[in-house]
Every structure is written in structure tokens, then in C-alpha cells.
Amino acid sequence: MLFRRQPKNVAPPRPPWMDQIDAADLYEFQRVQLAGTIRVLEELYPKATDRERVEVLDVGCNPTQDRILSQFVKHVTGCNVGGMENVPGDAKTAFVNSGEVELPFPTDTFDFAYSLSVMEHLKDTRAVMAEHVRVLKPGGYGYVEWCCQWGCYAGHHIFAILVRDWEKHLKLPRSPFEDGGDFVPDWGHLLLTPDQMRKLLCKKLGPGFEKLADVIVDVIYFRTDEHGLARLYLGEVMEIIRSFDVEIVEFTRQEVKAPKAVKEILRAKHGDHDYDAHYAKVIFRKRSGEGPSSVGSATELAEASG
Amino acid sequence: MIFPWRLRPRRPAWVDEIESAPLETYQKNQLQVTLEQIERLYPDPVQRSKVRVLDIGCNPLQDRLLSKYVGHVIGTNLGGMESEASDERTRFLNSAERELPLEEGAVDFAFSLNIMEHLADTRAMIAEHVRVVAPGGYGFIDWACSWGSPSGHHIFEAMVRYWETVFEMPQTAFKDGGEYVPDWGHLLLTREEMRAHVLSKLGPGTEKLVDYIVFSIYDRVDQYGLSRLFLDEVMEIIRSFDVELVEVKNEAMPASKPLKLALETIHGEHDYETYHTTVVFQKPASDARDVRKAADRMAATT
């Protein structure tokens, strides 16, 4: 008994669609997101015949992701705040521009509506969530996944790949900016004022990069369009999602724990919030309209273990 | 044959006596460290029994214990020393805030324990410290919680318990450990943020105590207040005098990277990790000083 060999932790078999994702022209994080979305679809609709009847909406879309996803479902509609007029659709995909809040679709249209890395950028999270829920059919599923919520270490949402774009846009040479907390400190957006952040960036980036520092400070603290930040803590976002007539099927969060001293300072400055969770994944189901609107106990369990 | 217990360090005579004295643990530790320091600097017992010692900002109980192992001890404090009984080995004097009531070169070993972080005028105090030491004599300074360190706010449970009795209020939940006054909070929070945070932790009805805590951290400047100098600033003041640093010992508590970056951005490059410092300096013997002065004069003329 004692010496019986335990089964090893074997990785799940590689799904057949993985090669296609690997070959696609996507960033690594987008590949991970797409694979995650397909897995969620497979979980919610285990039979391939069921999946083939699913009408999908991607809120804040990436056409490449949507084209790959469309092979597994009936149809995918991708919408974005702008730039979709030149993206060609086909038999299984369509791309449309949406308003900043309004989704240009009738109520009760989709079986599955998802958004990837959109939640942390919304100016009006409640309004967009209302639209997200509205366009779902009763009993349909919503799936939102995002990282770098305002309270977490990288809530400032400044990454090297973005900075490289801004350098090009500002016609600057490549700056020494790197990810890892040396330039924009972890939790720095909550510890420093805009002026202090600018001072730090100017010092770290060196002379000649003042304009870049201005852009970074603007994005962290002030910008509110689709490239800006929602600046809501995870608890506030979850409260908004829960305020709709939906049942939370799954809520998963991943943490990068704040050091104790950092956490105490953050609590003193901003109150008791979730400063650890940097990633959240929520699957919810729109209620059919009838029946009690109590949240299932399975949900709370998933939350506690998450 | 070597018996291993022979290799154990000798247990000094004073250990038991210090142990049984009615002192706080940190005071016992300090006294022990001071005695060890004196023993190291004056290894010859005959010489040690003649050493004139000065305790700046004294605790009479500590000094009476200490006086048994040295020549004699003078203790000075800003007040309250008139009621302390002196004897042939101890003397207690009131001093002014920037002046010591002693002649130049009056003592061989002058020490101060946990005084540096409370001085309104650190430079003037060190000047006096150096002045009263005889040429060739030593100064010993030991203090914790410099302004840059995690507990630079200097608010401790023992003090809060005392303030509660002064304000005649029930005991609050205050505890050491960074939960009530956060580590480095005095450097990262404004007065208002600190007040709101401590008040939210201690609950309603504690406004008076909270205001007093905030005042102590940010504004108070008498001998119970804080000097609010970073460690490097204090060390620069000590180095600016004509003394030789025999020993500088630091104990540090690492700060996490984001806090360090935030602190450096807001307050500049300082030591934010050292919470305990020990400095031993020697005043150069008079002939060495004469040589140095002559060299300075020569350099000035050429």
C-alpha cells in the first residue's frame, strides 16, 4: 500500500486545434486566451453537435482569434469600438463596429458572448456588462477573462510591447524600458502620485524620453478611452457582474501576493481591496427570467477555492 | 586534550546582575552591549576600573549597575536628575538641550543609547559629545529606528499603552508589527492618510490618541519627538567631526523592491533598510591632533 506507485501528473492530451493556434499570427498571451476560450466552449457544450449550433459574440474582438474559433461553432460575430469596417467576414464570421457602450445587436441574440482582456479598459464597466448580458439569450453563457486589474501589481498596465509601440509613434529611439518592475514599480500606480511616477520614469529612462514618460503617466492615471484603464478593484467589478440577473458558473482568480509591508501601505491609502489577484476568469449564465435569483452554492465554493 | 567547555566564551560577571535588574529587555541588552564595548576598549581590568564614563540621556538604574565595573559614571538628562541620589561612583546632572554641563575632555568614554533618533539638533549634540571626551577617549552611540527604517515612525505598543493611561481611555487594540502604523508608513502616507488609517484600525472614540500618534510621527520636535534624519545624514554629521570611526555596525531589514523604488522616488536615495546602528568613535590623541592641525595649516598656506 505504502509503496504503490502513484499515478504521475500527466499533462492532458494535446487537443488537435493546438497546432493551428501555434501557427497563427498572434502574441503568446493571445494564443493562451484563445486556447482557454475553446476549452471553456468544450466544457460548456461537451458534444461537438451542440457546439455547432452555438452563436458566438466576441466583445472587443481580435479577427484572427475569431476566425480560428469560428471553425468549432455555428458563427462568430466580432465587434470592436472601431476599425472593423475593413475586416472581411465570411460564411462563419462577421465583424462590426460597436459604440463605446452599445452593442449593435438585438436582445437575446447569442448563446455565448465572451470578452478577453477588455474588462480592465472599460470606462463604464456597468454599462458594457449590461449590454453583454442583454445580447445573450436566456440560458446563454457569458465568459469574461482579463488580467492586471487596478489593484494588482501590474494594474498600471504598462508593458514593454506597448512601450515599443509608443516609441515608434513618438519617433523615439528604443528606450531602456523593460518589464519587471524596475521602471514602473509593482503596485507603483497605487503608491505614487502622477508627478512622482513621472519623476521616477524620467530618471530611469534617461534624458530624451520625457514625452514617453508623459504618455505612460497619462495611460496609468488619466486616460479613459479604450486604451485607458477602468481603475476599478476586482471586488468592485465582481459586484457589478453580480448585480445583473446572472448565475456565476465559475470565478477563478490567480494571485501574485503583495509583500506584507506593501499591502499595509495600500490598505492605508486605498482601503481594503484585493491587491493580490492579477488574473480573473468569470463564466456566468443569463437566467431565463423566471425562478428565484439566488446565486448557486457551487459558485461560492468555486470562489472560495479559487 | 581540549575540553570543549573550555572553548565557551567566559560569562562576564555582570550578566546575572543585569538579568535580575528591573529594566526593559531592550535596556538590558543595551547595557550589556555597552559593558562589552568598554571591556573590549579597555581590556586591562586595572585601567578599566579608572575609566570615567558619561551617559548622555541617562537611565540612572543602568548607570548605577554600570558604575560597579568602571571608575565612575556621570549621567545627564534634560531634566529630573535633581532627585537622583549621587554617590562616590555615580553623579547625575541636568543638562540643557544643546549643552553638556561638563568641561572639555572630562570623560574617557561617553555613550548615548537611543538618543540619536530624538534630537532636535543632532549636529550640536554630537559636537558636545565629542567635546567632553578626552583626547584618545571613545564615544559610543547606539540607536534604533532611524527615520528611514520601517519603524522610523517610532510608535510602539509600550508608548501607546502609556498614552492611553494619560488620556484616561480604555486600552485600544494597538499592537506592534506594522498592522496599525504600517512599516515605512510615515514616509509613504500623508498626515491625513495616516490619521484616517490608524483611526479606522483603532475605532471610534480614539480620536485624541490618534491625533497624538500623528503629531508624534510628523510634527513633535522636543526630546520625545523625532529628529527625522536619514541614517546617512546622521553618519555624515558624525564624520564631519575630528574623530576616527572605530566601528560602525548596522542591522538591516530588507525592503521589497516596489517600496524601495517608491521611497527613493519620494524621498531620494537613502538607507531605508537599516533599523539598528552602533557607532564607536575615538577622539584623536592631542599630539595626533596637533600634527593634523599643523598639516591643515600648511596646506592652507601653500
pLDDT, residue B4, reads: 59
**Is the per-residue pLDDT at B2 higher than 90?**
no
Rounded CA Rg of chain B = 22
Rounded mean pLDDT, B155-171: 94
Query: Mean pLDDT, chain A, as a whole number?
Result: 90
| Test the B interface: residue of A184, A260, A264 with most B CBs within 10 Å | A264
Rounded mean pLDDT, A106-122: 94
Query: Mean pLDDT, chain B, as a whole number?
Result: 91
**Is the per-residue pLDDT at B230 higher than 60?**
yes
List the single residue in B with minimal CA-CA distance to A191. Answer: B262
Nearest Cα residue to B172 out of B202, B201, B127 = B202
pLDDT, residue A3, reads: 62
pLDDT, residue B223, reads: 81
**Is the per-residue pLDDT at A292 higher than 90?**
no
| Test the A interface: residue of B179, B197, B259 with most A CBs within 10 Å | B259
Q: How sure is the predictor about B286, in pLDDT bands with cuts at 50, 70 and 90?
A: confident
Rounded mean pLDDT, B205-224: 93
List the single residue in A with minimal CA-CA distance to B180. Answer: A264
Q: What is the pLDDT of residues A224-261, one digit of tens each?
A: 888 889 999 999 999 999 999 999 999 999 999 999 99
CB contact under 8 A, B259 and A268: no
CB contact under 8 A, A261 and B178: yes
pLDDT, residue A13, reads: 79
pLDDT, residue B220, reads: 93
Q: Residue length, chain B?
A: 302
Can you tell me the distance from the alpha carbon of B218 to that of B233, in angstroms, rounded to the nearest whole number?
18
Greater confidence, B5 or A287? A287
pLDDT, residue A297, reads: 43
Contacts of A264 in chain B (CB under 8 A): 178-179, 182-183, 185
Considering only CB atoms, B265 lies closest to which of A196, A261, A268, namely: A196
CB contact under 8 A, B179 and A262: no
Q: Quick check: A153 contacting B, CB < 8 Å? A: yes
Tell me, what DSSP letter sits at residue B243?
-
Q: How sure is the predictor about A296, in pLDDT bands with cuts at 50, 70 and 90?
A: very low
Question: What percentage of chain B reaches a pLDDT higher than 70?
Answer: 96
Q: Quick check: B217 contacting A, CB < 8 Å? A: no
CB contact under 8 A, B182 and A199: no
| Test the B interface: residue of A179, A263, A265, A276 with most B CBs within 10 Å | A265
**Is the per-residue pLDDT at A2 higher than 70?**
no
Contacts of B258 in chain A (CB under 8 A): 153, 181, 185-188, 191, 259, 262
Contacts of A268 in chain B (CB under 8 A): 182, 185, 189, 193-194, 196-197
Q: What is the pLDDT of residues B59-77, one digit of tens each?
A: 999 999 999 999 999 999 9
Q: What is the pLDDT of residues A199-225, one digit of tens each?
A: 999 999 999 999 999 999 999 999 988
List strands edge to edge, sheet with A55-59: A93-97, A75-80, A55-59, A110-116, A136-147, A277-286, A246-255
Can you tell me the distance from the alpha carbon of B254 to that of B149, in angstroms, rounded to the nearest whole number?
10
Angle formed by the axes of helices B257-267 and A260-270, nearest 10°:
60
Angle formed by the axes of helices A63-70 and A28-44, nearest 10°:
30
Q: How sure is the predictor about A53, in pLDDT bands with cuts at 50, 70 and 90?
A: very high
- CB contact residues (below 8 A), chain A span 249-268, against chain B: 259-262, 264-265, 267-268
Contacts of B175 in chain A (CB under 8 A): none
Contacts of A186 in chain B (CB under 8 A): 257-258
pLDDT, residue A294, reads: 43
pLDDT, residue A301, reads: 45
Identify whether the C-beta of residue B39 lies closer than 8 Å to the C-beta of residue B32: no
Identify whether the C-beta of residue A203 lies closer than 8 Å to the C-beta of residue A175: no
List strands edge to edge, sheet with B274-282: B90-94, B72-77, B52-56, B107-113, B133-144, B274-282, B244-252
pLDDT, residue A5, reads: 66
Contacts of A187 in chain B (CB under 8 A): 258
**Is the per-residue pLDDT at A1 higher than 60?**
no
Rounded mean pLDDT, B15-37: 90
List the single residue in A with minimal CA-CA distance to B185. Answer: A265
Question: What percentage of chain A reaches a pLDDT higher than 70?
Answer: 92
Q: How sure is the predictor about B83, in pLDDT bands with cuts at 50, 70 and 90?
A: confident
- CB contact residues (below 8 A), chain B span 170-209, against chain A: 178-179, 182-185, 188-189, 193-194, 196-197
Phi, psi of B123 (to 5 degrees): -65, -45
Minimum distance, in Å, between the CA of residue A135 and any CA atom of chain B = 42
Under 8 Å CB-to-CB from B1, ≥6 apart: which residues?
A: none
**Beta-sheet pairing, B133-144 with B72-77:** unpaired
pTM exceeding the 0.90 threshold for the entire prediction: no
**Is the per-residue pLDDT at B193 higher than 60?**
yes
List the single residue in B with minimal CA-CA distance to A261. Answer: B183
CB contact under 8 A, A191 and B258: yes
pLDDT, residue A6, reads: 62
Rounded mean pLDDT, B209-227: 93
Contacts of B193 in chain A (CB under 8 A): 268-269
Minimum distance, in Å, between the CA of residue B180 and any CA atom of chain A = 9
- CB contact residues (below 8 A), chain B span 251-270, against chain A: 255-259, 261-262, 265-266
Q: Which residues of B249-268 are buried (b: 16+ CB within 10 A; e: fewer)?
A: eeeeeebbebbebbbbbeee
Rounded mean pLDDT, B263-281: 95
Can you tell me the distance from the alpha carbon of A46 to that of B154, in angstroms, rounded to the nearest whole number?
62
CB contact under 8 A, B261 and A188: yes
